[in-house]
Every structure is written in structure tokens, then in C-alpha cells.
Amino acid sequence: MKKILFAFVLIAGIWACDKDDPDNEGAPLERLTGTGEKKWRLTKAIAYSSGAEVDLIHNSANRCLGDNELTLRKEGTYLLEDTGVKCSEVDRIEDVWQFNKEPLQIKLAEISLLGRSFNNVVLDIKELKNSTFSGAINQVPTNSLNVNKIELTFSEFK
């Protein structure tokens, strides 16, 4: 009986802590856009190819990705800016995006990574908080890069 009571108290405590975390407050769309728009910086990008992992940000040839900024606007548009060290001749992409709750996804009309353009990109969200979100592009166009998937993490940029 004591074990059951202890397990119940432990589970209730964990649930209460997660619920009270301000980083988890608000609806998913609000976490991404705030009340109107929110700016994010790419902090992690890992490409997977034939069992190998490639860090796209900390790889010396790809240092241009770590300063890219993504602004998501509540009305359904976004701005992707290649700031600082440039990855390509395209400095900015401004287009439309969609947010799906089930499954939790962001669909971007176009993105640019490492000088290559990708259209109709779906980012399957793994984690979504007010200060960070991460997900995976699981369907990378094979004619663009020889990778199976790209995992991305963004942190709020103020």
C-alpha cells in the first residue's frame, strides 16, 4: 500500500512540475509566434546519411548556419534570414507557413540550407516550448542532398 501511495505522489509531483513550467505555457501556436511574431535562431542542425551524423553548424565548412534567424508570424507568414556569415547568395526568404496540431508539424514553403533551396518542407516537431523547439525534416529531397533526415533545433532570439 505504501508503494502505491508513493508512486501516486511521485507521478502527481512530476505532472505538477511540468504543468507549472512557464516554458510550457500557452497553446502550441502561441509558443511559436508569441502574440504576433517570434524570432528564432538555429542552434543545432544534424544531418543523417547512411548511418553517419554530420553537425551542420559546428562543422568548419558550415559555420554560416549558426546565425540564421527564423521569424514566425501568427498570420501565417515567415522570414528566414541568412545573417552574419552567409551560406548562399539568398539573404532572406519570406513566404507562407502552416501549423498542424495533429501531427504536430510546421510546413514551410521554402528554406535554404547550405546554399541549397528546399520547397514545401515539413518539420515534424519533437519538442515545443516557449524558449526552444526542435524537429526533423524526414523527407529530404534526394536530388538536393544525400541525407535521410535533418534534425533542427531553434532557440528564441531576442
Give tens-digit pLDDT for 73-130: 999 999 988 787 777 777 788 999 999 988 899 999 888 776 677 888 899 999 999 9
3-state secondary structure 102-130: CCCEEEEEEEEECCEEEEEEEEEEEEECC
pTM score, two decimals? 0.79
Residue 67 DSSP code? G
Number of Cβ within 10 Å of residue 140's Cβ equals: 21
Q: Hey, which of 21-30, 48-57, 97-106, 125-134 has the most confident mean pLDDT? A: 125-134
CATH code of domain 27-156: 2.40.128.540
Give tens-digit pLDDT for 114-134: 667 788 889 999 999 999 999
Residue, of 123 and 11, whose pLDDT is higher: 123
> Which run of H or E residues covers position 31?
helix 28-33
